[in-house]
């Protein structure tokens, strides 16, 4: 399973790093990818990440983290939405049947590209209204919403839930349970 996790300035660190660890523990080929892969990305809380490379044209899953949407930060999801620079990648991934996934307000990147129009989806509780306005069938109070080739998760810490869901879906419940146990992780709260 080839999985790309998009990284960009202003994203929430946990939205990318949580899923990265879970998905790599499952043995998937997971890469952090940036459109400007030749420079480091500075996350919302100062962590600097160097991408593994540019997005792959054969990634089977592409994950978008959130960050900065609710607080209207200068960098983060709003800046990525305004730039429209991820739209060609999203359109290509959609055309070839890749699963598009998001953590927290990363759903707004997918929604702004039209990838969630009429689709069941969730995001951070403070962005539910924005998600609906962008055409998604917003689902509230579900941590992870799986709508086939669109999988979204609500809230910053939901990246781990999203990744465990993907592991269960593509590698089986036993593998997901083993990883959750190794991490001593128990999902206990619904999305806000």
| Residues 6 or more apart whose Cβ sits within 8 Å of residue 167 | 22, 23, 26, 28, 175, 176, 179
The pTM of this model reads 0.96
pLDDT recorded at residue 188? 55
What span, in angstroms and rounded, lies between the C-alpha atoms of 133 and 136?
Answer: 7
CB 103 within 8 A of CB 158: yes
Contact 115, 125 (CB under 8 A): no
Instruction: Supply the CATH number for residue 66's domain.
Output: 3.40.50.880
Residue 188 located in a structural domain: no
Mean pLDDT value across the chain: 95
Task: Report how many domains make up the chain.
Answer: 1
Task: Write out pLDDT tens, residues 113-160.
Answer: 999 999 999 999 999 999 999 999 999 989 999 999 999 999 889 999
pLDDT value of residue 44: 97
- 191 within domain boundaries: no
Total residue count of the chain as it appears in this document: 192
Give per-residue pLDDT as tens, 21-57: 999 999 999 999 999 989 999 999 999 999 999 999 9
Alpha carbons within 13 A on the beta-carbon side of 185: 20
Domain annotation covers residue 137: yes
Is residue 186 included in any domain, yes or no? no
Neighbours of 148 (CB within 10 A): 9
Inside any domain, residue 190: no
Domain that holds residue 13: 2-181
Residue 189: pLDDT over 70? no
**How far, in Å, CA of 159 to CA of 162, rounded?**
5
User: What's the mean pLDDT in 166-190?
Assistant: 90
Residue 33 within a domain = yes
Structure-block tokens of residue 139: 């689902």
Evaluate if residue 7 carries a pLDDT over 80. yes
Query: What's the confidence (pLDDT) of residue 175?
Result: 98
* Predicted pLDDT at 141: 87
Residue 94 domain-assigned? yes
């Amino acid at each position: 399973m080839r999985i790309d996790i998009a990284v960009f300035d202003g994203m929430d660190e946990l939205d990318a790093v949580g899923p990265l660890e879970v998905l790599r523990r499952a043995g998937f080929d997971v890469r952090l990818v940036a459109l400007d892969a030749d420079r480091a990305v500075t996350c919302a809380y100062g962590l600097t990440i160097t991408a593994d490379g540019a997005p792959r044209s054969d990634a089977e899953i592409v994950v978008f983290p959130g960050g900065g949407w609710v607080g209207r930060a200068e960098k983060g999801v709003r800046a990525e939405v305004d730039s429209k620079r991820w739209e060609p990648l999203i359109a290509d991934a959609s055309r070839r049947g890749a699963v598009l996934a998001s953590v927290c307000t990363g759903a707004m990147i997918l929604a702004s590209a039209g990838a969630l129009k009429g689709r069941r989806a969730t995001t951070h509780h403070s962005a539910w209204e924005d998600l609906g306005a962008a055409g998604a069938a917003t689902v509230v109070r579900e941590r992870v919403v799986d709508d086939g080739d669109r999988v979204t998760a609500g809230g910053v810490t939901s990246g781990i839930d999203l990744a465990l869901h993907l592991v269960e879906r593509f590698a089986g419940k036993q593998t997901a349970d083993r990883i959750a146990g190794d991490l001593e992780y128990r999902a206990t709260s619904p999305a806000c």
